[in-house]
Amino acid sequence: MHRRLENALSMAALLAAAMLAGTHSDAAQPNYPDELLTMPGTPDIVAKGMEADGYSLAISAFSWGYPLVRMERVMREYTDVPSPKPATSFHAPLNQMAWATSLATPGAKDLPTPDIDAYATSAVLNLTEPYVLTVPATHDRYYVIDLFNMWHEIEHYVGRRATGTRAGTYLIVPPGWKGKVPAGMKRLDVGTHKVWLWGRLQARQGEDAAPVLALQQQFGLRPLSGKAPAVAVLPPLPDTADDPFGFFRQLGFVLQSTPIKPADKALFARFRRIGLTQEGFDPSALSEATRQGMARGLRDGPLMVMASLAGTSRMRDGWNWVNGLDDARYDYPLRALVASRFLGAQGEQEAMYPQRYTDSEGRALSGESRYVLKLASAPPVDAFWSLTLYGAGDKALVANPLNRYRVGSDTPGLKVAADGSITIPLQATRPEGDNAANWLPAPKDGFFVILRMYQPRPQVLDNSWPMPQVSKLP
């Protein structure tokens, strides 16, 4: 029998003896129930308790540790450069930056709801020393580079909103570094030795792409020492095939190279009871009851994380609205949710992405009907806005004769009414009338739209600007 179970049963026997001896009397106690005082310390009760302990700790450890595992998996994916490399790919070797040189098309099915407002860039850094990030002057063209730590927390924004569009040089500094920052560089401290840089550079509709692609090449990333890093890859994560505790094996593996945050140390210390420590994951000393509870906790962990949608997602005038994506703090389920379903998401001060699936009567949008989406005015933003349409089934762009997949502030010939309103037809067939220039072609079956607003003004965030309705035409 495992030592922990033996100790628990010994304690149970002592408790039972104390109760039989009448050590405590309920006669003078206040009249309120206390199940713990009256619960017998029998072996079956202790075993149930150990199952409950394993369950609760597994759920807690899952929501706390999921972002770390997710980031480690993504880093290995994004440093795996395909050959040949598609123009839409932003994958780059470790410690290097790469840009997508083409926007997604309807044929791109690998990434749901692709953002065709901007070219994407990515860099995974293993900070054995500080790295220098250089950005060019973009002459007010929107761009942003987010610096994520291993917990999927944005520690810094570099870009139009946060730092402007002048040329700049930034030093990304790992924990514990004591060197001197060279003149002309702004220091950006990060909390983990590995970081993910995820960025966007605006692509305006109808423009010549060549100058923008040339601008991409002016972004730079190099080690402070100037020495080219040795060609390296991240070590593989433990194989989780047919392992009911595979998630914890991967979490234990990555914890060996990721220090626990000081604020999390008390929480993390509890996970020793399920075999999870800074040295890794070892379930060999766990009782069968604890293992059963842990297995159940891992099955329910994702459900508990999804429950955080109730506090972050809400309906606003028929639109799915989510905020707080860069400010989870100690809300571990929310942080896990963002790392999973909203990987790379930014805060609402940088951009908002409300989604619309139904018309004004609550019916699912379908190309079998015709609709108009009417904006009372152009969305109040400090950068730009766009409305993009996706197929409901594959969440991909929809092929159409115009090769138009979005309508926005940079759409050539956008029709704006005298009162400032903008009416956008959403339908499968070409519309007629003054607003035909704003047509966003729809498929013949289900679809949905995303209204992207970059650097939204307070009127968007406080709901004083009315979100547009989607009305079905007769």
CATH number at residue 96: 2.60.40.1610
Nearest to 136 by CA among 219, 197, 68, 246: 219
Q: Of the residues 160, 188, 223, which one is the last residue of a structural domain?
A: 223
Q: Are residues 219 and 87 in the same domain?
A: yes
Whether residue 72 is found in the same domain as residue 167: no
In a domain, 89, yes or no: yes
Q: Which domain holds residue 379?
A: 351-472
Assign residue 3 the CATH number of its domain: 1.10.3360
At 140-184, the pLDDT tens digits run 999 999 999 999 999 999 999 999 999 999 999 999 999 999 999
Q: At what angle do helices 246-255 and 288-306 cross, to 10 degrees?
A: 80
Query: How many structural domains compose the chain?
Result: 3
346 is a domain residue: no
Q: Report the mean per-residue pLDDT for the chain.
A: 93
- 93 and 58 in a single domain? The answer is no
Q: Which residues contact 351 (CB under 8 A, 6 or more apart)?
A: 452, 453, 454, 455, 456
Distance CA 142, CA 120 (A): 12
CA separation for the pair 23, 35 (Å, rounded): 17
pLDDT surpasses 80 at 14: no
Strand pairing report for 440-441 and 351-352: unpaired
Q: Phi/psi at 334 (nearest 5 deg)?
A: -65, -45
Residue 464 domain flag? yes
List pLDDT tens digits, range 72-112: 999 999 999 999 999 999 999 999 999 999 999 998 876 78
Q: Are residues 185 and 62 in the same domain?
A: no
Report angle CA 168, 198, 106 to the nearest 5 degrees.
125
In one-letter notation, the amino acid at residue 251 is L
Give the strand pairing for 447-454 and 351-352: antiparallel
Query: For position 436, what pLDDT does the model report?
Result: 95
| Cβ within 8 Å of residue 287, ≥6 positions away | 2, 4, 5, 8, 47, 50
User: Do residues 164 and 56 both lie within one domain?
Assistant: no
- pLDDT digit string (tens) for 30-46? 688 899 998 999 999 99
pLDDT tens digit sequence for 450-460: 999 999 999 99
Nearest by Cα to 443 from 405, 399, 409? 399
Q: Are residues 273 and 365 in the same domain?
A: no
Which pLDDT belongs to residue 474?
Answer: 93
Answer whether residue 22 shows pLDDT above 50.
no
pLDDT greater than 50 at residue 16: no
* Residue 382, both tokens: 């400090």
Say what the pLDDT of residue 6 is: 54
Range with lowest mean pLDDT among 11-15, 360-364, 464-468: 11-15
Show the 3-state SS of 407-438. Answer: EECCCCCCCCCCCCCEEEEEECCCCCCHHHHH
Give the tokens for residue 341: 């379903």
Asked if residue 214 belongs to a domain, the reply is yes
Q: Rg of the chain over CA atoms, in angstroms?
A: 27
Q: In this structure, is residue 338 part of a structural domain?
A: no
pLDDT digits (tens, 9 = 90+) for 405-463: 999 999 999 999 999 999 999 999 999 998 999 999 999 999 999 999 999 999 999 99
> Would residue 335 count as lying in a domain?
no
* Exposure of 22 in the CB half-sphere (CA atoms within 13 A): 1
The CATH number given to whatever domain includes residue 374 is 2.60.120.1600
Do both 124 and 210 map to the same domain?
yes
Q: Per the domain annotation, does 259 fall within a domain?
A: yes
The residue from 163, 189, 223 where one domain ends is: 223
Q: Tell whether 60 and 146 lie within a shared domain.
A: no
**Residue 20 confidence (pLDDT) above 60:** no
Report the C-alpha gap between 307 and 182 in whole angstroms. Answer: 47
Whether the pLDDT of residue 25 is over 50: the answer is no
Q: Is the peptide bond before 84 cis (omega within 30 degrees of 0)?
A: yes
Q: Would 362 be classed as within a structural domain? A: yes
Answer yes or no: do 286 and 210 share one domain.
Answer: no
Question: 212-236, pLDDT tens digit by residue?
Answer: 999 999 999 999 999 887 778 999 9
Domain boundary among 173, 189, 223: 223
Do 42 and 89 belong together in one domain?
A: no
* Pair 42, 141 in one domain: no
Q: What is the pLDDT of residues 263-317, one digit of tens each?
A: 999 999 999 999 999 999 999 999 999 999 999 999 999 999 999 988 888 999 9
How far is residue 314's CA from residue 300's CA, in Å, rounded to a whole number? 23
Same domain, 108 and 217: yes
Which pLDDT does position 114 carry in this prediction?
A: 92
